[in-house]
Structure 1
Amino acid sequence: MQVTETLNDGLKRGYTITVTAAELEAKVNEKLIEAQPEVEMKGFRKGKVPMALLKKQFGQRLLGEAMQDAVDGAMNKHFEDSGDRPAVQPDVKMTNDDWKEGDDVVVALNYEALPAIEAPDLSGISLEKPVVKADDAAVDEALQNLAKSAQNFDDKDGAAENGDQVTMNFLGKIDGEAFEGGAAEDFPLVLGSGQFIPGFEEQLVGVKTGDEKSVTVSFPEEYGAAHLAGKEAVFDCTIKAVKAPAEAVIDDELAKQFGADDLAALKAQIAERLEAEYAQASRAILKRGLLDALDEAVNFDLPPSLVEAESKQIAHQLWHDSQTDVDQHDHSHGDIETTEESDKLAVRRVKLGLLLADIGQKAEVEVTDQEMTQAVIAQARQYPGQERQFFEFIQKNPQMQQQLRAPIFEDKVVDHIVGQITVTEKEVTKDELQKAIEDLENEG
C-alpha cells in the first residue's frame, strides 16, 4: 500500500492511496479464512468447504468489502501517522474508473486539516466582572410588578373604560354564519390589553353591564388562520359585568397567591431570583469580554470550508432577522448570498470555536450524562404533552445531541479558562448592567 502526497497548500491536503491487487487478494483470503469455520455447503461438513470453492462462491462479494477495508485502513493509518485531523468529512474518490479485478486500486484523498493551535498565555488576560446587588428598591419594583400581574377587579356601575375588565358572552359570524373558535361565554377581557384583533376592544369602550353590542372588525391579512385572514366578522356581544381595577395591596395574601408563606418570604424569593438574573447577565458580559480577549490573543489558519459554511449560516440568519414576515423555518427563498459582515463574524466564530475545543480537549473537559439529561429535559418543556416523543427524537438524532452538547461544553471550557485568568469584580447599578447587556446584544 502506498500513500503519495499530491497537495500541501495551507490547510489543504491531497494524497493518492494505492492498494495493490496482491494486497486486495490477501484481504479477501483473510476474510475467507475467517468465515470458513462457519460456512456450510452441500456435500461438505461445516467448516470443511475447500478454500478454492469458497473463493469462487464468495470472492466477488468480499472483494468490495476488502477494498473498503483497505482504503479505510490506509486513511486511518495516514491520520495516525501525520497527526492531521480533517475539518470536515474527507473527499475520497476512486480515480481508475475502469478498474477490473486484478488491477491496483487508486484512490484520491482530499481534505482540509484542522490547524495546529498554540494556546494563549491565559495569565496575561485580566477582566472586570460587573456585580449587582438586589437592593430593597429593586425588590420593591419587582414586587409592584407582581402585584400588577395579580390585578383584581371590582364591580362598577358606570361605562367601561380602557383598563377596565369586561366579562361577556360573544358569538362571531362571517357572512351571517358562525365560525369555529368565534364564540365564548363568561370571557373576561381587559380593554386596551390588545388581546383581541385590532378594533375589537376599542368598540367596547362605553358599554355597561347588560348591554348588547355588535362589534364589526376585519381579521388581518396575515392572520394565523387562513380561513379567517382578511375577512370581515361581526361579533354579537352580551356584556355580563364591567369591573374597574382594584388597588393592588401588597401583603401576606398577595404573597400566598404566588406560593409564599408571607410577604417576607416572597421578598426573599424575589431577591434570590433577581440575584440569579443579575449573575446570569454578569456572566454573559464576562464571557463576551473573555472571547474578545481570546480573539485578540490568537491567530491561526482557518479551514476555508468551515468559514464558508458558517458565513452562509450567519447570512441566512441575518436575512431572516430582516424579514419579519417570513417564518424562521421557511427555506423556500433558496441560498442567501454571504456578505462582508457574515464573513467577518464567521472568521471569529470558527476561530473561537476551534480554540475553545482545543483548550477543552487538552483540559479533558467533558459533558456528563447528567448534564445532557438536564439539557434534554429543559428542551422537552417547550413541547408540553409531547415530552416522550421529544426524548425519543433526541435519542435517535446524533446531530441534535451535538447541538445540545456544544453550548454545555463551551460554557464548561469558559469556566475552566476563567479560573486561570485575573477577574476583578466591579459593583455597578442595575441600570448599568442592563445597558451593558443591551450593548452586547446590539453588537451581535
Structure 2
Amino acid sequence: MQVTETLNEGLKRGYSITLTAAELDEKVNEKLTEAQPEVQMKGFRKGKVPMALLKKQFGQQVMGEAMQEAIDGAMSKHFEDSGDRPALQPQVKMTNEAWKEGDDVEVEMTYEALPEIPEVDAKSIKLEKMTVAAEDEAVDEALQSLAASAQNFEAKDGASEDGDQVVIDFKGSVDGEEFEGGAAEDYPLVLGSNSFIPGFEEQLVGVKAGDEKNVEVKFPEEYGAEHLAGKDAVFACTVKEVKAPVAAEVDDELAKKYGAEDLDALKGQIRERLESEYGQAARAVMKRQLLDALDDMVKFDLPPTLVETEAKQIAHQLYHEDHPDDHGHDHGEIEPTDEHNTLAERRVRLGLLLAELGQKAEIQVTDAEMTQAVMQQARQYPGQERQFFEFVQNNPQMRQQLQAPIFEDKVVDYVFELAEVSEKPVSKEELQKAVEELESED
C-alpha cells in the first residue's frame, strides 16, 4: 500500500492512499480462508466449501470489508508513524469513483493536525484568591429571607391585594357546561403565584370575604388537556376568606422547619452555605485570572476549522441572547464578527492547552464523577430520569458534553495547586463586583 503526501500547509494535511488490486485480492482471500472452516453450504460438508464458490458467493461483501479494514489500517499506521493527531475526524473519499473489480483503490485523506503545545511552567503563575467571611449581617439577611419563605397567612379585613391568599370555592365551565377537574372547595390561592391559568389571579385582586365573582379566562393554546386548549372558560368563584402574608418568627421553631436543631444550628448552616457560595464565586474569579495568564504565556497555531466552528457557535449563541423571542433556527447564516473570531481563537487555544496539561498529568474523569453529572442533569427531567440515563449512555456526544467541564475543572484545580496563590480578604460587595465584571466580559 502506498501513502503519498499531497498537502502540508500549516496544520492542513493531505495524503493519497493507494491499495493495489493485488493487495485487495490478497486480503479478500485471507478473510475467506479464515471464514472457510465455519461456512456451511448445501451439497458440501461444513468447512469444505471450495474457495472459488466462496468467492463467488461472498466475494463482493468481503471485498467491501477488506477495503475498509485496509484503508483504516493505513490511516492508523500513518498517525502512529507521523505522530499527527487530527483535530477533527479526517475526511476520506475515493478518488476513482468509476472503480471496478480489478482496479487499484485510490483514496484521498485530508485533515487538520493538532499543533505542538508549548510547555507551561505552572509554578511561575501568580494568582490572587479573594476570601470573604460570612458576616453576621449577611447571616441575618438570609434568616429574614427564610422567614419570609416560611410565611403564614392570617385572616384580614378588607379587599385582597397581590400577595394575599384567598380561600375560594370555584366551578369552571366552557360553553355553559362544567368540565371535569374544574371545581374545588376551600382552595387556598396566593395571588401573584401564577399557579392558575393566566389572567385568573389578577381578577381576584380587590375581592372581599363573602364576594362572588365570575372569572373569565382563556385556556392557553398549548394547554395539556386538548379538549380545553384555546377555549374560553368561566369560573364561578365564592370567596370564603382573605388572608394577608405574615413572615415567620426568627426562632427555634423556624430553625426546625428547615431541619436544624435550633436557631444557632441554623445560623451555622447558613454561615457555611454563604462561605461555600463565596468560595465558588472566588474560584470563578481566580479561574479567569488563570486563563488570562495562560493565554498571555502561550501562543501556537490553531486548526482553522476548530476556530471557524467555535466562532459560528458563539455568533449563534449571542444572536439568540439578543433575540430571546426567536426560538427557531431558520434565521439564516449568522456571520461571525472579528470579535467572535478573536474570542473563538482564545477558547480553542485554551481548550487545547488545558487538554494537553490534563493529558500529561494523567487527569481523568472517574465513573463516579460522570454518574453524578448525569444525575444532576436528569433532575431537570422529572419522571423521565431513566430515559435520560439511557439517552446519555447511547449518545457519545452527550457524554462528551457532560465530561468536558468536569475535566476542565480538574485540570484548573491541578494548576491551582502548582501556581503561587496568595489570599486577599475582600468584602462581599467587592467579590460581587468582580463576578459581575466576569459576566460582562463573557
TM-score of the aligned structures, taking structure 2 as reference length = 0.91
Q: Which residue of 2 aligns with 1:404?
A: 402
CA deviations 1:200-253 (Å, max 9, x no partner) are 555434422111133456789999999989987654321111122335311111
Uncovered stretches (5+) of structure 1, i.e. residues with no partner: none
Question: For residues 410 and 198 of structure 2, what CA distance do their matches in structure 1 show?
Answer: 47
Q: Which residue of 1 aligns with 2:438?
A: 440
In the alignment, residue 357 of structure 1 is paired with which amino acid?
A: A
Alpha-carbon distance, 1:254 to partner: 0.9
CA 1:46/1:233 → structure 2, altered by over 3 Å: closer, same or farther?
Answer: closer
Indicate yes or no: 2:239 matched with 1:239.
yes
Alpha-carbon distance, 1:88 to partner: 1.1
Question: For residues 42 and 247 of structure 1, what CA distance do their matches in structure 2 show?
Answer: 87
CA deviations 1:12-67 (Å, max 9, x no partner) are 11111111122112211211221222223445443333434433433333222221
Q: Secondary structure at the match of 1:419?
A: helix
In the alignment, residue 408 of structure 1 is paired with which amino acid?
A: I
1:331 to 318, 329, 332: 329
> Percent of counterpart pairs with the same letter?
72
Q: Which residue of 2 aligns with 1:134?
A: 134
Question: For residues 45 and 361 of structure 1, what CA distance do their matches in structure 2 show?
Answer: 54
Q: Which residue of 2 aligns with 1:168?
A: 168
Q: Secondary structure at the match of 1:355?
A: helix
Assess if the C-alpha contact under 8 Å between 2:147 and 2:247 holds in 1: no
Q: Which residue of 1 aligns with 2:342?
A: 344
Q: Which residue of 2 aligns with 1:20?
A: 20
CA 1:173/1:54 → structure 2, altered by over 3 Å: closer, same or farther?
Answer: closer
Alpha-carbon distance, 1:319 to partner: 1.3
Question: For residues 179 and 306 of structure 2, what CA distance do their matches in structure 1 show?
Answer: 52
Q: Secondary structure at the match of 2:380?
A: coil
In the alignment, residue 363 of structure 1 is paired with which amino acid?
A: A
Q: Which residue of 2 aligns with 1:108?
A: 108
Q: Which residue of 1 aligns with 2:64?
A: 64
Indicate yes or no: 2:142 matched with 1:147.
no
Uncovered stretches (5+) of structure 2, i.e. residues with no partner: none
Assess if the C-alpha contact under 8 Å between 2:150 and 2:247 holds in 1: no
Assess if the C-alpha contact under 8 Å between 2:31 and 2:62 holds in 1: yes
Alpha-carbon distance, 1:161 to partner: 3.6
Assess if the C-alpha contact under 8 Å between 2:149 and 2:247 holds in 1: no
Q: Secondary structure at the match of 1:241?
A: strand
CA 1:145/1:72 → structure 2, altered by over 3 Å: closer, same or farther?
Answer: same
Alpha-carbon distance, 1:98 to partner: 2.0
Question: For residues 95 and 362 of structure 2, what CA distance do their matches in structure 1 show?
Answer: 40
Alpha-carbon distance, 1:427 to partner: 1.1
Q: Which residue of 2 aligns with 1:372?
A: 370
CA 1:294/1:260 → structure 2, altered by over 3 Å: closer, same or farther?
Answer: same
Q: Secondary structure at the match of 1:111?
A: strand
Question: For residues 102 and 127 of structure 1, what CA distance do their matches in structure 2 show?
Answer: 66
Q: Secondary structure at the match of 2:401?
A: helix
CA 1:47/1:395 → structure 2, altered by over 3 Å: closer, same or farther?
Answer: same
CA 1:212/1:49 → structure 2, altered by over 3 Å: closer, same or farther?
Answer: closer
Alpha-carbon distance, 1:145 to partner: 0.2
Indicate yes or no: 2:413 matched with 1:420.
no
Q: Which residue of 2 aligns with 1:302?
A: 302
Assess if the C-alpha contact under 8 Å between 2:148 and 2:247 holds in 1: no
Q: Which residue of 1 aligns with 2:79?
A: 79
Moved more, 75-84 or 115-124: 115-124
In the alignment, residue 80 of structure 2 is paired with which amino acid?
A: E
Assess if the C-alpha contact under 8 Å between 2:253 and 2:262 holds in 1: yes
Question: For residues 242 and 204 of structure 1, what CA distance do their matches in structure 2 show?
Answer: 10
In the alignment, residue 381 of structure 1 is paired with which amino acid?
A: R
CA deviations 1:337-377 (Å, max 9, x no partner) are 32333222211111111111111111111011111111111
In the alignment, residue 131 of structure 2 is paired with which amino acid?
A: V
Q: Secondary structure at the match of 2:418?
A: coil
Q: Which residue of 2 aligns with 1:271?
A: 271
Q: How does 1:174-213 map to 2 (within 5 A)?
A: 184-191=184-191, 201=201, 203-213=203-213
2:389 to 391, 411, 432: 391
Provide the alpha-carbon RMSD of the alignment.
2.7
* Aligned residue pairs, count: 442
Q: Which residue of 2 aligns with 1:318?
A: 318
TM-score of the aligned structures, taking structure 1 as reference length = 0.91
